[in-house]
Structure 1
Amino acid sequence: MSPRTKEQNDAIREMRMSQIMQAAAEVYLEKGIQLEIRDVAVKAELGYGTVYHYYKNKNMLLEDLLWDALYRTESAVLPALTGDGGNLLKAESFARQLLRKCIQDPSVFILLKTVADNFHQFPGNRFNKLFADFQERIYLPFVEMVREGIGSKSPEKTANLIFGSLVGCTALNIHHKMHSEIDVEDIVDMIFSGIQSKEK
């Protein structure tokens, strides 16, 4: 049997990393910060040594999970950030895309909840850069859409309310195993119609 090529090794590494990340997100939803590398290995159906080869401790794993989630979040909302139409339509589109991504991808939900919680479960200041990047690439562009599209007197407060609503709806779906699928359109319509009527 011939040795694997660099490309084959890279493909295996990428597949393993994806498997570990997905398992880590699922375990985090079950156990929060109490998750251990062993839990992730069991969920991923990998040997403990395999997971440990990639991540020496859970903090390194969670850090990668959150950074990866930031890139996924940015990709999900990019059409709203760069699309045509007025800022109100863009803000609504942004919220829809973000809610869909939260429901489909637990790591994005974990990122939003962690940012909303101000990283209080994580020791030290290791997430200052992640928080700054989230602000610059996700939060502040959305605040600007809210400012221009809704004419909000306090766009940060309104943006926080929207983000909180999206996180809350996703949490209900995840933790209460709702039997019917979340109606993204209805939720976003309700949030924005409530905000607009209050702003008038």
Structure 2
Amino acid sequence: MSPRTKEQNDAIRELRMSQIMQAAAEVYMEKGIQLEVRDVAVKAELGYGTVYHYYKNKHMLLEDLLWDALNRTESAVMPVLMGDSGSLLKAESFSRLLLWKSIQDPSIFILLKTVVDNFHHFPGNRFSKLFADFQERIYSPFVEMIREEMGSTAPEKTANLIFGTLVGCTTLNIHHNMQSEIDVDRIVDMIFSGIQSKER
């Protein structure tokens, strides 16, 4: 049997990383910060040594999970950031996409919840760069949309309210095993109609 090529090794590494990330998100949803690398290995159906080869501890694993989630969050809202929001306000389209993606993708939900919690469960300043990037790539553009479109006198406060509401709705849906799919349009309509009536 001939040795694997570099391309084959890269493909295997990519597959393993994908398995580990998906398993880490699922375990985090079950156990929160109490997750261990061993739990992730079991969920991914990989040997502990295989996962440990990539991640020496859970904080390294969570850091990669959150960076990957940040990149996917940015990709998800990119159409709105690039100006394609259809007939809706950009801020409203942005919120719909964010809620929809956080329901579909546990790692995006984990990122948003972690940011809303101000990285409360994470040690030291390990995630300060991630937080700064989130602010620059996701939060600040959203605040600017609110300022421009809604004439809000306190756009940061409005953005915080929206982020908190989106995370709260997703949390209820996930942790209470709601049978019916969350009504993204209705939730976002309620948020924005409430904000607009207050701003008048």
Are the structure 2 counterparts of residues 52 and 83 from structure 1 closer, same or farther at C-alpha, using a change threshold of 3 Å? same
Aligned residues: 200
Residue by residue over 1:71-91, the C-alpha shift from the partner in whole angstroms, topping out at 9 and shown as x without a partner, is 000000000111246996111
> Which structure 2 segments of 5+ residues have no match?
none
Which residue is 1:3 aligned to? 3
CA contact (8 A) 1:35 1:58 kept: yes
Which residue is 2:182 aligned to? 182
> Identical aligned pairs, as a percentage?
85
SS in 2 for 1:181: coil
AA in 1 matched with 2:76: A
Residue by residue over 1:124-161, the C-alpha shift from the partner in whole angstroms, topping out at 9 and shown as x without a partner, is 10111100000000000000000111111100000000
CA contact (8 A) 1:74 1:138 kept: yes
Q: Which moved more, 1:75-84 or 1:155-164?
A: 75-84
Structure 1 CA distance for aligned equivalents of residues 35 and 95 of structure 2 = 30
SS in 2 for 1:125: coil
Which residue is 2:192 aligned to? 192
Q: TM-score, normalised by structure 2?
A: 0.97
Which residue is 1:20 aligned to? 20
Tell whether 2:91 aligns with 1:91. yes
Tell whether 2:132 aligns with 1:132. yes
Structure 2 CA distance for aligned equivalents of residues 138 and 166 of structure 1 = 14
The alignment yields a C-alpha RMSD, in angstroms, of: 1.3
Which residue is 1:169 aligned to? 169
Structure 1 CA distance for aligned equivalents of residues 138 and 10 of structure 2 = 30
1:53-68 map, 5 Å: 53-68=53-68
Structure 2 CA distance for aligned equivalents of residues 20 and 86 of structure 1 = 37
CA contact (8 A) 1:87 1:149 kept: no
CA contact (8 A) 2:85 2:93 kept: no
SS in 2 for 1:60: helix
Q: TM-score, normalised by structure 1?
A: 0.97
Which residue is 1:148 aligned to? 148
Are the structure 2 counterparts of residues 152 and 35 from structure 1 closer, same or farther at C-alpha, using a change threshold of 3 Å? same
Structure 1 CA distance for aligned equivalents of residues 174 and 117 of structure 2 = 18
> Which structure 1 segments of 5+ residues have no match?
none
Which residue is 1:71 aligned to? 71
